[in-house]
Amino acid sequence: MSLTHDDTHPATTDERIAARVKAMEAILVEKGLIGTDAIDYMSSVYENQVGPQLGAQVTARAWTDPDFKIRLLADATGACREMGVGGLQGEEMLVKENTEDVHNIVVCTLCSCYPWPVLGLPPNWYKYPAYRARAVRDPRGVMAEFGFEPPDTVEIRVWDSSAELRYWVLPRRPAGTDDFTEEQLAALVTRDSLIGVTAALSPAAV
């Protein structure tokens, strides 16, 4: 069972959502409630300005500043705010730290709750029933599909996000990065590693 497709109706789900969005957009524009330029602007903000790069910057800070990391794990929303990161769909966030012994993975079993200010918009597979069910039932199988296989000795913890509380993962700092700057470290942090389906990239991979 592949996670990159909705197993029941791969194309039709996307098409249905796209059609619904277009219809809502048309009504809002027709009633003069919103201009098409405003809609384009909002999409562009989430595509280009808000996205996993903000989560990557926060992660790199946590890797290099132990006090910041403590604050991030205690109050992710507050710590992100220190860096000017926050807003809609990220009012209450919790960060779970990966260690040598524990690996965390995030899902929303009910729908697709996701920390927008830190990660941008969720990837399609995050919303599909296949991911939402299998992340809980078979998290190691899911990770293997992303090419990530933590050792058997590592405990896997699955966190179920909701509209009230959105989780994301603090990946482990890759080996061989002792002399890296925050900017270099941030380049190793991927969206998928912040969801927990993979680890951060190793320096050799970039």
Residues that bind Fe ion in the complex, under the rule CB under 5 A: 108, 110-113
Question: For residue 174, which phi and psi values (nearest 5 degrees)?
Answer: -65, 150
Query: Among residues 63 and 126, whose Cβ is nearest to Fe ion?
Result: 126
Contact (CB, 8 A) for 84 and 135: no
Query: Among residues 142 and 199, whose Cβ is nearest to Fe ion?
Result: 142
The minimum distance between CB 110 and Fe ion, in angstroms, equals 5
User: 3-state DSSP call for residue 94?
Assistant: strand
Query: Among residues 60 and 105, whose Cβ is nearest to Fe ion?
Result: 105
Packed helices 36-44 and 10-30: angle between N→C axes, nearest 10 degrees:
130
112: annotated active-site residue: yes
Residue in 43, 44, 111, 202 annotated catalytic: 111
User: 3-state DSSP call for residue 64?
Assistant: helix
The minimum distance between CB 160 and Fe ion, in angstroms, equals 9
Q: Which of 202, 32, 199 is nearest to 99 (CA)?
A: 199
Residue in 112, 161, 162, 193 annotated catalytic: 112
The minimum distance between CB 88 and Fe ion, in angstroms, equals 14
Q: Please provide the size of the chain in residues.
A: 206
108: annotated active-site residue: yes
111: annotated active-site residue: yes
Active-site residue list: 108, 111-113
